[in-house]
C-alpha cells in the first residue's frame, strides 16, 4: 500500500498541479490531504482539482480551513494578526456553499494501517490540537506526553512547513512539509508512505507560478509570490522563529 500525504497546500495551485503529476507516476493507492488547503491565492481551483482526482482521497481540517469556515459562519478570530484575517476573509468570500459543506465534513485526524509501517495517525499539527508548533529541534522530553499512549507506530503531521523524520519515545513522528508554502528550498514538499517513509521534493516552474498568483485577486498575491514561491524563508530562520513559540496553542 502506498499513500501520498499532501499537507499545507495553501491555495498554491501550480505547486499542487506538479505534485499531482508526480503522485500519479508514483502509483499510489490513496491520497491524504493533511489540512490547510486554505488560505491561499487559488482556493477554489485547488479544492476542485483535488476533488476531481480519480484516486481515493481523504481530507483533514487544519487551522486555516477551520478559520475559513468560522468566517463563513460570521465569526472571526481576534487573536489572529490583521494580515491573516484579511486573507481568510477573502477566501471565505470565494468558496461556494458546496465547498463549505465539503470542508465542514473533514475530520481533525485520520487513522489507518499501512502494512509495511504499521498503524498510522494523521493530524495537522499535533494529536492535541491543530495549532501547536514543534520542530525537529524540539526536545524529546517535551513531546513524549503528546505522543505517548496513542497506540500507533507512526504519526504524520504538518503545520510548520518543514519536513522532518524523528522518534518521540517509541513513536516515529514525520512532518510532511508543505506543498504550497515550504520553508527552505523552493518547490513543493510532500511524503510518499509505503513501503517506508520517503520525503519528496517536487520542482515546478516558479516564475510561471508567481505570475499566475500575481494575476489573482488575492490580497497578498505579490508577497505570496515573492516570499512563499520564489524565495521562501530558510529552515534556520524559521527554526529560530518557532523556537520562541513552540508548544503554545
| Model pLDDT for residues 48-92, shown as the tens digit of each residue | 999 999 999 999 999 999 999 999 999 999 999 999 999 999 999
Region 136-155 average pLDDT = 95
For residues 31 and 55, is the Cβ–Cβ distance under 8 A? Answer: yes
Q: Is 186 helix (H, G, I), strand (E, B) or coil?
A: coil
Question: What contacts 64, CB < 8 A, 6 or more positions away?
Answer: 10, 35, 36, 37, 38, 39, 88
Residue pair 180/8 in contact by the 8 Å Cβ criterion: yes
Residues of the chain with pLDDT > 90: what percent? 97
174-187 burial: b if 16+ Cβ within 10 Å, else e:
bbbbbbbbbbbebb
Residue 248: is its pLDDT beyond 90?
A: no
Confidence at residue 224, expressed as pLDDT on a 0 to 100 scale: 98
In this prediction, residues 19-33 reach a mean pLDDT of: 97
**Which domains, ranges and CATH numbers included, belong to the chain?**
3-243 (3.60.21.10)
3-state secondary structure of 41: coil
pLDDT at 246 exceeding the cut of 90: no
pLDDT exceeds 90 at position 167: yes
Query: CB of 70 within 8 A of CB of 77?
Result: yes
Interval 209-231: pLDDT, tens = 999 999 999 999 999 999 999 99
What are 131's three cell numbers? 495549532
The pLDDT of residue 247: 83
Pairing of strands 30-33, 3-6: parallel
Whether pTM > 0.85 for this model: the answer is yes
pLDDT score of 249 more than 60:
no
pLDDT of the residue at 133: 97
d(CA 175, CA 125): 9
Amino acid at each position: 500500500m502506498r499513500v501520498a500525504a499532501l499537507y499545507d497546500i495553501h491555495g498554491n495551485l501550480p505547486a499542487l498541479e506538479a505534485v499531482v503529476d508526480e503522485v500519479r507516476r508514483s502509483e499510489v493507492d490513496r491520497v491524504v490531504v493533511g489540512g490547510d488547503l486554505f488560505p491561499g491565492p487559488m482556493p477554489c481551483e485547488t479544492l476542485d482539482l483535488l476533488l476531481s482526482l480519480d484516486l481515493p482521497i481523504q481530507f483533514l481540517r487544519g487551522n486555516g480551513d477551520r478559520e475559513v469556515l468560522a468566517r463563513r459562519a460570521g465569526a472571526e478570530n481576534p487573536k489572529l494578526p490583521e494580515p491573516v484575517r484579511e486573507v481568510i476573509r477573502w477566501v471565505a468570500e470565494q468558496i461556494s456553499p458546496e465547498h463549505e459543506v465539503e470542508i465542514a465534513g473533514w475530520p481533525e485526524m485520520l487513522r489507518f494501517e499501512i502494512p509495511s509501517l504499521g498503524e498510522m495517525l494523521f493530524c495537522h499539527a499535533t494529536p492535541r490540537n491543530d495549532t501547536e508548533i514543534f520542530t525537529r529541534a524540539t526536545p524529546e522530553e517535551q513531546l513524549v506526553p503528546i505522543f505517548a499512549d496513542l497506540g500507533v507506530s507512526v504519526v504524520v503531521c504538518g503545520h510548520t512547513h518543514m519536513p522532518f523524520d524523528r522518534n518521540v519515545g517509541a513513536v516515529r513522528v514525520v512532518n510532511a512539509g508543505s506543498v504550497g508554502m515550504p520553508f527552505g528550498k523552493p518547490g513543493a514538499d510532500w511524503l510518499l508512505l509505503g513501503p517506508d517513509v520517503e520525503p519528496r521534493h517536487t520542482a515546478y516552474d516558479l516564475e510561471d507560478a508567481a505570475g499566475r498568483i500575481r494575476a489573482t485577486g488575492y490580497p497578498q498575491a505579490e508577497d505570496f509570490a515573492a516570499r512563499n514561491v520564489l524565495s521562501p524563508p530558510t529552515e534556520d530562520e524559521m527554526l529560530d522563529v518557532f523556537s520562541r513559540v513552540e508548544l503554545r496553542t
